[in-house]
Amino acid sequence: MNELYLLFVSAASLGFVHTILGPDHYLPFIVLSKARQWSSSKTMWITFVSGVGHVGGSVIIGMIGIALGISLNKLEYLESYRGEIVGWMLFVFGLGYTFFGIYKYMSNSHHFHLLNFLMPKKIRNLQHLPTEEQKEDNTKLTPWILFLIFVFGPCEVLIPMLIFPAYESSTFGMITVALIFGATTVLTMMLAVYIGHKGSSMIRFKKHEKYFHLLAGIVILISASGILFFGL
């Protein structure tokens, strides 16, 4: 029981630390909420759902792997591979959003001097869509992209913590570790996003709103680079 208690404390501690040290857990939500002008409630809901998907993916893989008797090394390799995939997914999303931000900046600043044949076909087509319709479509699509990326995102530190209670044949221990780690991770994500969202709302950027989408794309690119090249 003492070992399980220590494992529960470790699950809470690691859930908090791995989230805070991984800016990809909260920066994309903060910058996109500002760029897309999401309300606080919508931002929190998107963060919550994405966080649950993020933890749930690793929990399911861990439980199935343990039930099938797959070794810890293989499970850790799988999680590492998933981490690389999600890093590239976030990178591609950030790159695409950066180009979208450039397009929005150029169209809003009335300096759209780029020749049509030099622009990607998708951006040329966007010029002929009504502004409100375009905004509505992007607003609906972006949360789903974030959710899918976070579902693929691994929690590398979780699966090793599930091994001990599994070895002890303690279903209660496995479920409790998963719940504590998951709750701590999601709550930490929501707290960091809430602070960032509220903090940015207190600062007036009226003259710089045309840069928001571009800034969001760059921040997401930086977050993805942290995953791919620095192991954050």
pLDDT in tens, 85-115: 989 999 999 999 999 888 887 876 554 444 4
Distance, CA of 188 to CA of 25 (rounded, Å): 9
**Annotated domain spans of the chain:** 2-230
The mean pLDDT of 8-28, rounded to a whole number, is 92
For 109, the token pair is 């600043």
Distance, CA of 146 to CA of 50 (rounded, Å): 7
DSSP string for residues in 32-70: HHHHHT--HHHHHHHHHHHHHHHHHHHHHHHHHHHHTT-
pLDDT at 182: 94
- Stronger pLDDT, 210 or 5, i.e. the higher one: 5
Taking the CA atoms of the chain, what radius of gyration do you get in angstroms? 20
pLDDT tens digits for 41-84? Answer: 999 999 999 999 999 999 999 889 888 888 888 888 888 888 88
Residues 72-92 as b/e (b if ≥16 CB within 10 A, e otherwise) read: eeebeebbeebbeebbebbbe
Residue 54's nearest CA partner among 168, 189, 170, 162 is: 189
Tell me the average pLDDT of the chain: 82
pLDDT tens digits for 156-171? Answer: 888 888 887 877 778 8
Confidence of residue 136 (pLDDT cuts 50, 70, 90): very low
Residues in Cβ contact with 159 at an 8 Å cutoff, skipping those fewer than 6 apart: 58, 61, 62, 65, 72, 75, 76, 79
pLDDT tens digits for 188-218? Answer: 999 999 999 988 777 666 555 677 888 889 9
List for the chain the helix, strand, coil content (%; round to 5).
85, 0, 15
Q: 227 near 18, Cβ under 8 Å?
A: no
Q: Can you give the pTM of this predicted structure?
A: 0.80
